[in-house]
Amino acid sequence: MNYKNSMKLLTSNFSLVWKQLAYTIVRLAIIFGLVILVSNPIVKLLVENGFAEKLTNLWQIIYTDFSQFFVELRQVILSFIDIISTNISSVWLSVVLFFFVTLFVNSLLTSMGKFALTSIAHSSYTSLTKTGYCHSMITNFGKMMNYSLAKFVLDIPFTVFKILFIAIYCSALNNFILAIVGISIMIILYTITYALQISMYNSVAIEVLSNGTNPFKAIFKSYKSIKYFMRVFSNAIVVVLTIIVTNIIIGFFTVGAGLLLTVPASMVLVVTFELVSYYGGVGQRYYLSPTIIVDSSTENLNK
């Protein structure tokens, strides 16, 4: 029911996708600009050491001998690490700032957008009230920053796990079969990890928004019972698989252009699912459409 109602809300409130798209473009522009600014010394160093040619060769291998792609990719990665580590004394500040921007600033801006989207969606789903990103961010700025900083801390174990797995995967790139199998394993682990994050955090943003709850305490609102958590988790896996399959298929057949729509829609779907799961947990009513109200306490549709 949570997944089904989330999909219905996504399609009936599609204007949220356009709002999320606008914010995503602004966020990526900020991150891209900062990355260019802080990584200029790194780029110069790589160019001086012939790294651009290695990337060109890697691109050509895709069309000439794909079976050697993963082997060549591993060599490119090792070359990159060797160049940076050998010259770390001259680019250490750029490396630190690069990770600061890509890990901390990007995470902060992403969480800020998610919190604002939660506020907008919550108003729409529970009272049919339409609000904007800027209004939501300004009126909830303190709560938004509190949530965003806390979420960065809460996400650290997941971030470390993803980095370690990528590092392990890169070590297997010298074998084509292992590389292909590794992609499948990576998708499975990503699905489980992301579904676990959704299940753990489904009550955090809305609790901080509605009740001013401490984010670190709000996370326990997701553990009403083992049965409730497992139901949310099983539905979250379906949500994540829907996101992965949709982005891959539409991205492939539109040569990436369709991702402009599916990426923000994915975030709206996640936020919607978290809210629907929360409503179900606390027995709160919400509008599935202007004429249909869902009574979460009984999970019946009341017109």
- Residue-wise pLDDT for 274-297, tens only, equals 999 988 888 888 888 888 888 766
Task: Write down the pTM of the prediction.
Answer: 0.88
Compute, in degrees rounded to 10, the torsion defined by CA atoms 142, 148, 154, 159.
-160
Average pLDDT across the chain, whole number: 88
User: φ and ψ at 116, to 5 degrees?
Assistant: -60, -40
> What pLDDT is attached to residue 248?
92
Q: Which residues constitute the domain of residue 184?
A: 2-302
- Which residues on adjacent β-strands are paired with residue 289? 292
> Which two tokens mark 114?
């998610």
Tell me the C-alpha distance between 298 and 292, whole Å: 14
> What pLDDT is attached to residue 302?
40
> What pLDDT is attached to residue 296?
67
> What pLDDT is attached to residue 225?
66
> What pLDDT is attached to residue 92?
93
Q: Show the DSSP H helices in 128-258 as ranges.
A: 133-139, 141-171, 176-201, 204-211, 215-218, 226-253
> What pLDDT is attached to residue 228?
80
Total of domains in the chain: 1
Q: Can you list the residues of the chain whose pLDDT is less than 50?
A: 300-303
> Residues 166-198, buried b or exposed e (16+ Cβ, 10 A)?
eeebbeebeeeeebeebeeeeeeeebebbbebb
> What pLDDT is attached to residue 18?
94
Number of H helices, E strands in the chain: 13, 3
> Which two tokens mark 267?
């975030």
